Amino acid sequence: MDPNLEEFNTLMMNKNPEKAESILHAINVFLRPNSAIEIVRDHMNGGRYVLRKMRVEGKHVPDEVISEILSWIPAKTLHGIMRYVCKTWAKEICNSSFVENHLKRSKPGLLLQNETSKSTRFLEIRENGDFEFTNMNPRPSNDNYNNLGTIISSCDGVIMYFGPFWTTICVTNPIVMDVTHVPRHFHHRARAEPSYAIARVSHSGEFKIVCGQIIEKTNETHWYILTVGIFDSWRDIGCVISCSGALEVMKPICVGDLIYWSGNAYPSIHKDVIVTDVAKEIAFGIQLPMKFMQSNFVKIGNLFASLTFQDGYCYDIHVLKDVHSDSVKWEFYQTVVLCSPNDYNEEWQRANFIACIGQELIFDFLPLYLKPRPRKYYAYNLKTRQVRCITANETAHLHTNSLVSWRRP
Q: What's the pLDDT tens digit per position in 108-133?
A: 999 988 877 888 889 988 877 788 88
pLDDT (tens digit per residue) in 23-49: 555 555 545 544 445 556 666 666 665
Across residues 310-324, what is the average pLDDT? 80
Stretch 301-327: mean pLDDT:
82
pLDDT of residue 353: 86
CA distance 390 to 40: 38
Band (pLDDT 50/70/90 cuts) for residue 65 is confident
Which secondary structure element, helix H or strand E, spans residue 76, and what is its range? Answer: helix 75-80
More confident: 349 or 245 = 349
Q: Is the pLDDT of residue 54 over 60?
A: no
Assign residue 283 a region: left if phi > 0, alpha if psi is -120 to 50, beta otherwise? beta
What is residue 3's predicted lDDT score, i.e. its pLDDT?
A: 38
Percent of the residues in the chain that have a pLDDT greater than 90, as a whole number: 16
- pLDDT at 4 > cutoff 70: no
The mean pLDDT value for 301-321 works out to 84
Contact 317, 307 (CB under 8 A): yes
Sorted by sequence, the CB contacts under 8 Å of residue 332 that are 6+ apart come out as: 316, 317, 318
Q: Where in the chain is the domain with CATH 2.120.10?
A: 109-399
Report the alpha-carbon distance of residue 299 to residue 297 in Å, rounded.
Answer: 7
What digits encode the pLDDT tens for the residues 196-241?
999 999 888 899 999 988 777 677 788 999 999 887 789 998 887 7
The SS3 call for residue 231 is: strand
* pLDDT at site 56: 47
Name the least confident of 53-67, 96-110, 122-136, 199-213.
53-67
Do residues 376 and 362 make contact, with C-beta atoms less than 8 angstroms apart? no
Strand partners of residue 402: none
Give the span between the Cα atoms of 267 and 366, in whole angstroms. Answer: 9
pLDDT at residue 101 in the model: 92
Task: Write down the pLDDT at residue 224.
Answer: 92
pTM: 0.79
- What fold characterizes domain 109-399? Neuraminidase (2.120.10)
